[in-house]
Structures are given as C-alpha cells and as structure tokens.
A and B are shown apart, each in its own frame.
Chain A
Amino acid sequence: MDYKIEELLPLVTWLTDKYTSKESSSVPYETAQMLMEAIIYCIDENRGQYPVAEAGKLPAARILYERGYDIVLDKVYAAKELFEQIMKSFEDYGCMNYRDTIQYGMPAFFTNYDPRFQPQNHLLTMDYPLIDGNSDLCGADLILEYLKGIQEEQKFLNCFERRAVINLLESILPEYQELYLDNICQTVLVRAMECFIAECPVRELVLSEGAEEEIRLFWAEDNKQLIDNKTIQFIRIIMKQFEINSDYFEKAAPGLGSRIWQQYLAKYE
C-alpha cells in the first residue's frame, strides 16, 4: 500500500490522541514510531485487494486502516479458535521448550496482544521453531501462521506412537526434556525417511542394525540438489501413507536435505 507520509499523519494524530486519552499533547519518538507502524501494519493487511495499477484509486487511508484493523481482529479470533482446537489434543512429548512455547506462552498473546496500538507486536519469542523455521511476519499474521504450522505438525506427530517419538528423542539427547530446542517433527521426519530407505517399520521410528550404512550408500552418489529433490519425493510418499493432504512439510525439504547431507556425506567430502 503506497501512501505518502503526509496522508498518514492525520491518522497518527488521531491514534496518538486515543493512546494518550487526549491527556498528553506529545509523546516520545518511540511511541510515535510505534503508532505509525501500527497504522502501516493495519493498512498493509489490505494487501492484494488493491493492485499496484490501481494505486491512484486507493480508498482514503483511514478507510483502509479501519478495514485492516478489522482484518487483524478476525485473525486474532481465528488464531484463538485454532489454538483451542490444538490444545484439545496437544502432545508435547515431554519437551519443555515445546510445552512452554505453546501451552504457557501462547495464552499470554491472547491476553496481552494490543491490536489497536501495537498490532505489529506479537509479544512472544516463540522459542520452539516450526519445521522450516519461523517466518519474517509479525503480529497476528505471525501467530496465525505459526499456529497453522503447529497444527499440521501435531497431525503428523500423532501418526506415531507417543513412546516411539520419546524413544527417538531420548536416543538423540538423553536429557531431551530440558535441553532439546529443535523442532521435533524435523527429527521424526528424517527418521521416518531413514526407516523408509532401510525398509524398517516407519511408524516405530527404529533403525535395525546395519541400517545406517545402507542409508549412507543410498545417498552416497547424490549431491545436495539431488538430495533435496529426493527428500521432497520421500516427504510426499510418507504424507500420502499417513493420509495427510498438505504440502506444508515440502517447504522443509531443503533443511532436511542439509541435515541428511551433514549426517551421512559431509565427512566423506
């Protein structure tokens, strides 16, 4: 949304009056900056609705701001509903970082998020990363996208026995409950691929003796690009097998490919 700063000033003035309840005629630069960002954030929520070619015909900034504010509110409600759905069957596998981020951290967002004055501030650090890392979005946009990711990941993890996931995490890091800070899905998905290659039962997430060498030989001739391509194919096969109709995990392929390359081939380079 391409607005000149002059067009936004009346909005900043209005929002500042609201922020100070008209009891202060001036605010620190940081506050003025925060309120300007709040306005731009809400206006940007309308993106996609007004193509660049029609920039000259854009509605008044105030109208777009109010529409954007409503969109932000809708996203918060949607995120809240999604969070409640996730929590009905949420499993943290004993991982403290996962539990703290979702179960204890997320309610703080819904309690303290300020869509009027700081819609760009999502308040949480979200220490538990999604399978392909957290996006560059901010505010309600980020929270909604994050929760959608968490829901997809929970669906995938639910395809495995709780004990199988815990055993896998313990085999990687015995004190995983306190110390494991990575994404659980990533580890499970890599192991599922390994099981697939070594023809071990995928749902059990356990490799038989000699399987590692078999897997290394499988990847031995491949370069990074080929590993990425094969990883995408494996992800599709595994998701199909678990009846998960989503391409969410495919975007994690480059990260998983790197992990496989590091684990099996980097030392032979």
Chain B
Amino acid sequence: MEKNQDMFQLILEEKKKQELANILTCNEKSSQFGLTLTEHDAQELMVCRNESLKRYQRAEFGTGILEKLIDTFCDSQYIHQSNYTETLEQLQDIFYEFKNEALDLLTDDELLTFMKEQFEGVCSGDLEYLEGTCLDKFAEAVRGGYRGYQGTGGAGEYQQFDLVMRWDKNVYLEILKELFW
C-alpha cells in the first residue's frame, strides 16, 4: 500500500514540472475573453487538482485535465476574472467526482461537453445545480446502462433526464392568445 502511495506521489511530482508552463500557455486563448491566470493561480489550481485526485482516488497521467477544462470553459458567460480561479477549482473537482460516479464510462470530452452545456444552460453558472442535479441524474443514468451519449459526444443529453418543466414556446403563445386575443 505504501508502495502504491509512492507511485501516485511520484506521478504528481513528475507532472508538476511541465504542467505549470502548459497552464500558463492557456492564457493566450483565455485572455481573449478577459480571463488570465497568474503563476500563483496556476500553482493553486494544481494543488487543488492534486487534492481532488487524492480525494477521488484517481491517478492522472500525461497533460492532465486542467488545460482542457480552461479551453472548454474560458468562453463561458458566467465566468469572470473575479471568480475564474475559484470556478476552475470547483469544476475540476466536479469533473473527477463524476468520472468516478459514471464508473469511468464517460470519456473526458463527453463529460466536459455535458458539463459545459448544462453550465451555460439550465444551471446558469450555478455549480451546485450542475453537480447536485444535472450530473447526478446523468451519472445515475450512465450507471443504469444508458449509452446514448456515445453517439452525441455528451451534447443535448440532459433534456431527457430533466424533471423540471422548462420554457415551452407553444404554451407561452397559447397563454398570450388567451390573454390578449
């Protein structure tokens, strides 16, 4: 067991060296949306990432998820410079949590696509709703054998699991007619 811990610690140490530079490179794209990370922010994100990995008992190899997460979410209408680092910290924690919850059946891209779509849509930037409702229901479906996301890449998946009655254009027009015609 101690040997295992050594192995996972070593993996993290190895990654640390190259990753900082890679994360800072992401500023080139995110700065177009007014979002940048300082070296301190990047290091903080890496520390949080390592804690999340330990919490969810996962080992990460290669370039890691942070760069992809930044790339996916940097154009979000709900992320601003003031909440950028904090949101990324939470998003990466949620990401690892739901890799486990979905039994590793979702690829990184499928999960990120689903997360981004709900974050911008039904969640309106609310991370608690994303985690506690959208992802929770989706992961439950995946665990139950649902595989429809493989054809869609994770896009347009939530509607079928959503229990909340959302905006309906036809109902709106009907009511409008009743009121004014």
Contact = CB atoms under 8 A, between A and B. Distances in A.
A30 B7 CA distance: 12
Contacts, number: 69
A29 B61 CA distance: 12
Given A5-B10, A9-B10, A33-B4, A26 B57 contact: no
A73 interface: no
Interface of A: 5-6, 9, 12-13, 16-17, 20, 23-33, 36
B89 to A, nearest CB: 16
A36 B7 contact: yes
Contacts of B63: 25
A5 B7 contact: yes
Given A12-B61, A26-B58, A27-B58, A32 B8 contact: yes
A20 B61 CA distance: 11
A29 B68 contact: no
Interface residues of B, number: 26
Interface SS of A by simple majority: helix
A26 B7 contact: no
A29 B4 contact: yes
Given A9-B11, A33-B4, A25 B59 contact: no
Given A16-B59, A20-B107, A25-B65, 16 more contacts: A12-B7, A12-B11, A12-B61, A13-B62, A25-B108, A27-B58, A28-B58, A28-B100, A28-B104, A29-B4, A29-B8, A29-B57, A29-B59, A31-B59, A32-B8, A33-B4
Contacts of A16: 59, 61-62
A17 to B, nearest CB: 7
B4 A24 contact: no
B8 A25 contact: no
12 contacts: A9-B7, A9-B10, A12-B11, A12-B61, A24-B107, A25-B63, A25-B64, A26-B58, A27-B58, A27-B104, A30-B57, A33-B4
B14 interface: yes
A26 B4 contact: no
Interface in B9-42: 10-11, 14
Contacts of B99: 24, 26
